[in-house]
């Protein structure tokens, strides 16, 4: 008696090489589009807008990234790696206070370079496991950095890890508000906050010059201006 092999089930069949290549190209196009839009406009950009920017349909975007958190996890994986690396570099500094200053400046600079990442560091995404894992790793290192800097007598005893969260939230707001009119305003904020964190007599880097009145006025005008039709397409909630 001869037997015939049963056909493969749909789950066992592998996609054709051409289909796999197309899927990978679409994925890369989506990631590139999301990086561009998140960097310029923050995380308020809608999934529909990202699909348009990538030149794919909403269904294609949903197949590659079923949720917003999945997309954010993929887009910012390398930046979260850099965030964790900044903590490790600060801990490797033989001068704990210098390491603390370097960490604060480096992380706030990362926020200034990418509005989306500025938002990521000021929010939490429980469904994005890899991203949150790297955040937790950086957080544990920062706790050690705080303890070392306080033991050295240069960081105020009442400074806590919550103060970093507050700083990152504040810096994200400054970056978003002044990105065009006064793009270096965040440096002034960081300099002033380091002065608030330091014990009396501690050496500090020079304070950045305050933004010009006219630059801040332009930023304030832009914040007061209603969103245009173009801006409306960028968000899910409008």
pLDDT at 16 over 60: no
Which has the higher per-residue pLDDT, 222 or 215?
215
Q: What is the CATH architecture of 17-75?
A: Orthogonal Bundle (1.10)
Q: Which CATH class is domain 77-225?
A: mainly alpha
Low-confidence winner among 28-37, 86-95, 220-229 (lowest mean pLDDT): 220-229
- Asked, colleague to colleague, whether 17-75 and 77-225 share their fold, the answer is no
Instruction: Specify which residues 235 forms β-bridges with.
Output: 45
Mean confidence (pLDDT) of the chain: 87
Helix, strand, coil abundance in the chain, percent, nearest 5: 65, 0, 30
pLDDT at 232 over 80: no
CA distances for 197 relative to 42, 224, 230, angstroms: 28, 32, 41
Distance from C-alpha of 135 to C-alpha of 46, rounded to nearest angstrom: 24
pLDDT at 17 over 60: no
213-224 helix and 185-197 helix, angle to the nearest 10 degrees: 100
pLDDT for 96 equals 97
pLDDT for 19 equals 57
Low-confidence winner among 3-7, 155-159, 233-237 (lowest mean pLDDT): 233-237
The answer to whether 50 touches 37, Cβ cutoff 8 Å, is yes
58 pLDDT band (50/70/90 cuts)? very high
Query: What are the backbone dihedrals phi and psi of residue 198, each rounded to the nearest 5 degrees, phi first?
Result: -80, 150
pLDDT for 227 equals 55
Q: What is the mean pLDDT of residues 145-154?
A: 97
> What residue ranges do the domains of the chain occupy?
17-75, 77-225
222 pLDDT band (50/70/90 cuts)? confident
DSSP 151-173: HTT-B-TT--HHHHHHHHHHHHH
């Amino acid at each position: 008696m001869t037997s015939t092999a049963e056909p493969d089930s749909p789950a066992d069949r592998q996609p054709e090489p051409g289909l796999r290549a197309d899927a990978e190209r679409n994925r890369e196009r989506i990631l590139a589009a999301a990086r561009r839009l998140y960097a310029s406009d923050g995380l308020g950009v809608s999934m529909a807008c990202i699909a348009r920017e990538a030149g794919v349909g909403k269904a294609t975007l949903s197949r590659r990234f079923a949720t917003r958190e999945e997309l954010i996890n993929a887009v910012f994986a390398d930046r979260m790696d850099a965030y964790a690396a900044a903590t490790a570099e600060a801990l490797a500094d033989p001068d704990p206070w210098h390491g603390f200053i370097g960490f604060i400046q480096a992380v706030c600079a990362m926020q200034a370079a990418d509005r989306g990442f500025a938002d990521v560091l000021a929010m939490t995404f429980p469904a994005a496991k890899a991203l949150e894992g790297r955040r937790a790793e950086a957080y544990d290192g920062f706790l050690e950095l705080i303890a070392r800097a306080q033991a050295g007598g240069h960081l105020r005893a009442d400074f806590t890890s919550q103060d970093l969260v507050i700083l990152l939230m504040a810096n994200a707001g400054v970056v978003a508000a002044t990105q065009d009119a006064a793009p270096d305003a965040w440096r002034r904020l960081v300099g002033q906050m380091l002065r608030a964190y330091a014990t009396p007599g501690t050496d500090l880097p020079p304070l950045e010059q305050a933004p010009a009145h006219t630059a801040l006025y332009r930023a304030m005008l832009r914040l007061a201006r209603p969103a245009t039709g173009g801006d409306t397409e960028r968000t899910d909630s409008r």
